[in-house]
């Protein structure tokens, strides 16, 4: 079996911004690419909701669709307008996947995003 350490290093070294949240979208882990993309250090977003990244202009229908999928324990992928710590807005191509326990109950969410501003 692959050692847990390898999973950790692979996520830490990924070029994609990766975060793991609790069931309410409060951040429990963020990798170094998350810091590069958002400008936030992992330590300062610990326990903070992912809505910290919202630029507050994305139509609420987008979030309702997102949460509608997650409530059905299905993944969601889409593009959101996010805001970095320095205030600069960027287009985030984001995928969120529910993380289930052995009984199939939701315990966490895995978020992965990249800045696609240049591509649009
Ligand atoms: P909210 O108060 O969050 O509510 C918006 C709508 O979503 C409402 O209709 C509400 O009922 C519904 N909703 C909110 N939370 C839940 C919940 N726990 N269960 C069911 N329904 C819910 N948002 C971004 O803008 N940018 C990101 O990069 C981003 N990344 C995310 C990564 C992960 C892993 C997760 C789980 C969520 C992410 N979100 C992101 C969504 C974020 O948590 C907020 O829901 C979103 O930003 C809207 O925030 P709000 O305060 O405007 O509205």
Residues 60-109 pLDDT 10s: 999 999 999 999 999 999 999 999 999 999 999 999 999 999 999 999 99
d(CA 26, CA 46): 8
Q: Is residue 120 scored above 80 in pLDDT?
A: no
User: What sign has the CA pseudo-torsion 63, 104, 48, 3?
Assistant: negative
Q: Output the CA 63–ligand 1 centroid distance in Å.
A: 6
Q: Output the CA 3–ligand 1 centroid distance in Å.
A: 33
Residue 110's pLDDT is: 98
The neighbouring-strand residues paired with 114 are: 93
Please identify which residue in the block is written with the tokens 């409530």.
Answer: 71
Q: What is the rounded average pLDDT for all residues in the chain?
A: 96
What mean pLDDT comes out for the span 28-42? Answer: 98
Q: Output the CA 30–ligand 1 centroid distance in Å.
A: 17
Spell out which residues line ligand 1, taking CB within 6 angstroms.
Answer: 19, 21, 24-25, 49-51, 53-54, 58, 60, 63-64, 67, 71, 80, 82, 92, 94, 96, 109, 111, 113
Atom of ligand 1 nearest to the CA of 113: 28
Alpha carbon 90 to its chain's center? 14
Of 110, 102, 48, which Cα lies nearest the Cα of 75? 110
Assess contact for 91 and 116: CB atoms under 8 A: yes
- The residue whose CA is least distant from atom 15 of ligand 1 is 24
Q: How would residue 58 be classed by pLDDT, with cut points 50, 70 and 90?
A: confident
Global pTM reads 0.94
């Amino acid at each position: 079996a692959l050692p847990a350490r390898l999973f950790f290093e692979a996520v830490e070294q990924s070029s994609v911004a990766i975060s793991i949240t609790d069931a309410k979208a409060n951040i429990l882990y963020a990798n170094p690419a998350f810091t590069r993309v958002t400008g936030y250090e992992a330590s300062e977003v610990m326990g903070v909701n992912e809505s910290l990244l919202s630029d507050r202009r994305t139509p609420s229908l987008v979030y309702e669709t997102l949460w509608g999928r997650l409530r059905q324990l299905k993944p969601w992928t889409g593009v959101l307008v996010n805001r970095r710590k320095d205030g600069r807005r960027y287009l985030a191509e984001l995928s969120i996947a529910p993380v289930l326990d052995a009984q199939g109950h939701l315990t966490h969410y895995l978020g992965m995003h990249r800045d696609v501003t240049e591509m649009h």
